[in-house]
Amino acid sequence: MLSLLVLSVLVAFCRGLGTTDCGRTPIAPELGAGDRIVGGREAVPGSWPWHAGLHTSPYFDSIYFCGGALIDDQHVLTAAHCVAARNSMATAIHLGSHQRQARDDSEVNVEVEHMCMHRDPLKDIAVIKLKEKVEFSDSIQPACLPQDGDVLSENTTVYSTGWGLTDGWDPESHSDELMQAELEVLSHERCNRDFRPPDKPAPNHVICTRRVHGSVCKSDSGGPLVRRSDDGRWILEGVVNLGPKICTVANRAILFSSTTRFTPWLREYESVEDNPEQLSRFCDLAPNVTRLFLDSTIGLIS
């Protein structure tokens, strides 16, 4: 009887979007001074195994356009503005990649089932369901989702990864290799006082960060913001939402949609994801031309 009870608890705990076997880096990342995307430090290949590349499908020349984060074997989180204009049939998710365009030996490309955006256009988050489950490997692993109520303390060190611009002044300077940046969490009070324009305070559903070594930049949108927990696992705290127009500006905040703030939304998504009628009522399904116009008015950096 006790064994049955324990099994029931474990099953209940393991169910749900995300996975309990998460946040592992079989290939260890190199951390420390010099981490930056703008100007950039190249990541150790495979060391950020949840990083996903959003591409047009191979039938449309497979062009990279945004980042994302693998959270289990069939779901990727990204920014809603990344997918507003995209058709799921013309989108592919690249996992296990180090090169932005060239194919890596460890890479897996997966077609998309649907792309569900939050209905509020100011809440810049979307979940992508893959057509098939992916098999984990050293270079393909899910990041952990935060626990309910987790709060990031000010000055916490976090990391972002991406293939965005490496020179904030050069629109053609996309990195061919995955880059990493070290950032620092700001309180909303300090963020709004010192790092945001007076008429544009950071909303409560975002994480506010500042540059430590480098910054995120154009085409890093949707990419993961992660924190290493005390037990060594990596927690997905957010996805890239908004940054300064000039990526190297030191006194401007970089904002990430907070996964903790959207935990209830993700749970609700999970309850309707396999019911097309309920899913279409719950979220904006990409593509959505009206949503694209709304998203383009708030200064996002994709």
Q: What is the CATH number of the domain that holds 56?
A: 2.40.10.10
Asked, for residue 44, whether it belongs to a domain, the answer is no
What does the block give as tokens for 243? 């940054």
Regarding whether 270 and 131 lie in a shared domain, the answer is yes
Asked, for residue 164, whether it belongs to a domain, the answer is yes
Regarding whether 266 and 138 lie in a shared domain, the answer is yes
Regarding whether 248 and 179 lie in a shared domain, the answer is yes
CA proximity to 239, closest of 296, 178, 302:
302
- pLDDT, position 36: 46
Regarding whether 229 and 91 lie in a shared domain, the answer is no
How far is CA 91 from each of CA 62, 66, 79, 131, rounded to the nearest angstrom?
A: 8, 11, 15, 11
Regarding whether 252 and 111 lie in a shared domain, the answer is no
CA proximity to 47, closest of 141, 136, 134:
141
- pLDDT, position 100: 82
Q: Domain of residue 112: give its range.
A: 49-142+262-298
- pLDDT, position 247: 61
Asked, for residue 18, whether it belongs to a domain, the answer is no
| DSSP string for residues in 80-113 | HHHHTT--GGGEEEEES-SBSSSPPTT-EEEEEE
Distance CA 291, CA 294 (A): 5
Q: Annotated catalytic sites, by residue?
A: 81, 124, 221
Q: How many CA atoms lie within 13 A of 236 on its CB side?
A: 34
- pLDDT, position 102: 75
Distance CA 226, CA 236 (A): 5
Regarding whether 200 and 165 lie in a shared domain, the answer is yes
Asked, for residue 150, whether it belongs to a domain, the answer is no
Asked, for residue 19, whether it belongs to a domain, the answer is no
Asked, for residue 223, whether it belongs to a domain, the answer is yes
Regarding whether 172 and 81 lie in a shared domain, the answer is no
Instruction: Provide the number of structural domains found in the chain.
Output: 2
Sequence-ordered list of residues with C-beta below 8 angstroms from that of 263, at least 6 positions apart, any chain: 145, 146, 148
Asked, for residue 104, whether it belongs to a domain, the answer is yes
Mean pLDDT, consecutive 10-residue stretches, the chain (302 aa), reads 37 55 96 58 94 86 90 97 91 94 86 96 95 97 91 92 72 78 91 85 90 68 94 96 64 87 95 96 85 49 42
- pLDDT, position 104: 79
- pLDDT, position 38: 55
Asked, for residue 42, whether it belongs to a domain, the answer is no
Regarding whether 164 and 133 lie in a shared domain, the answer is no
- pLDDT, position 214: 59
